[in-house]
Amino acid sequence: MAAVTASMVKELREMTGAGMMECKKALVEADGNLDAAVDVLRTRGLAAVAKKAGRATNEGTVMALVSEDGKAGAVVELNCETDFVGMNDKFKAYAEKIAKAALAANPADMDALKAADAEGETVEAVVTDAIHTLGENIQLSRFAVEQGGAVSSYIHGGGKIGVLVQFDVEGIDPASAEFKAYGRDVAMQVAAASPVAANRDSVDPAIVEHEKAIYMAQAAESGKPEAIQEKMAVGRLEKFFKESTLTEQAFVKNPDQTVSEYTAEVAKNLGGEIKVVDFKRFVLGEEA
């Protein structure tokens, strides 16, 4: 039996919002396994979908950029030791330089990005220069590039969260002011509502199975007949899709319509078609 420490109880409380004693009991039952303890609490109806374990600890910034034609975008995370440096304009300028290099090169992996050209020097040299200039250990931790169709970006909290959203568009200019405003709204939605996927078809099947297992366990505790239990689980899974997939979420700026309905409205106004394809959401310090 693994020892349950006060720090484990605190972390589980932060992840789930459940009471201290309930968190302690769940951790004991789960033999100290944090993820299993979350499932115990959810089965008892004491927690919603939990925040990710391994909370953000690194400082730095997330930088997202979109090309002038609106057809490609890049997001990078550059980490440092202190928030003081992370909020520094020089530090942010280094991050922007790296994001521009990622956008131009569309590198296959981190090694390719570090070797990519950044205004006459390599990205690796840019990071080294940042270390010498700012006097802290600075690391380029991850990046993503979206290309094709249309791409929009949004930065929240001065670089705490960075988002790229990719769309398929037909009959619409991705560089138009109207589309840019729409794309920023959808990227802001991703930052605020943290969906698990763009739509229900793109949700990881393992996540769907895990959620259904939780809902079946909840239904079993109701003591109702199996046929009713199945309906209860299916209903809760449907609610999960509506709350956790981008296109089915209530639009944060107008909760009376879904993101999908907002998208259809904008597409009609612009005389074309828009489909939300994918997104990347980087939270500063969160593991990829």
**pLDDT at position 56 over 70:** no
Across-strand partners of 254? Answer: 251
Q: What is the total residue count of the chain?
A: 288
**pLDDT at position 48 over 70:** no
Most distant CA atoms of the chain, gap in Å? 69
How many CA atoms within 13 Å lie on the side-chain side of 153? 25
What's the confidence (pLDDT) of residue 45? 80
SS3 call for 3: coil
What's the confidence (pLDDT) of residue 201? 93
What's the confidence (pLDDT) of residue 1? 62
Across-strand partners of 280? Answer: 164
- The conformation of residue 188, written as its DSSP 8-state character, comes to H
**pLDDT at position 288 over 70:** no
What's the confidence (pLDDT) of residue 55? 43
The radius of gyration of the chain from alpha carbons, rounded to an integer in Å, stands at 22
Domain ranges of the chain: 6-53, 59-199+247-283, 204-244
What's the confidence (pLDDT) of residue 50? 59
**CATH node for 59-199+247-283:** 3.30.479.20
**pLDDT at position 250 over 80:** yes
pLDDT higher at 286 or 48: 286
SS3 call for 166: strand
CA distance linking residue 6 with residue 137, whole number of Å: 31
CA distance linking residue 40 with residue 15, whole number of Å: 13
**CATH node for 6-53:** 1.10.8.10
147 Cα distance to chain centroid: 18
Banded model confidence at residue 49, pLDDT cuts 50, 70, 90: low
The reply to whether 204-244 shares the fold of 59-199+247-283 is: no
Q: Are 63 and 162 in contact (CB under 8 A)?
A: yes
pLDDT higher at 228 or 105: 105
Could you read off the pLDDT of 3-26 as tens digits, one per residue? Answer: 889 889 988 888 888 888 889 999
Average pLDDT, the chain: 91
What's the confidence (pLDDT) of residue 287? 65
pTM higher than 0.85, yes or no? no
Q: Are 144 and 73 in contact (CB under 8 A)?
A: no
Banded model confidence at residue 196, pLDDT cuts 50, 70, 90: very high
**pLDDT at position 143 over 90:** yes
Written as one string, the DSSP assignment of 70-118 is SSEEEEEEEEES-HHHHT-HHHHHHHHHHHHHHHHH--SSHHHHHHSEE
Banded model confidence at residue 191, pLDDT cuts 50, 70, 90: very high
Mean pLDDT to the nearest integer, 105-115 = 97
With pLDDT > 70 as the criterion, what percentage of the chain qualifies? 95
Burial (Cβ within 10 Å: 0-12, 13-18, ≥19) of residue 111:
exposed
Instruction: Identify the helix (H) or strand (E) that includes residue 260.
Output: helix 259-270
Mean pLDDT to the nearest integer, 214-220 = 87
CA distance linking residue 154 with residue 63, whole number of Å: 9
CATH of 204-244, one of 3.10.20.30, 3.40.50.720, 2.40.37.10, 1.10.286.20: 1.10.286.20
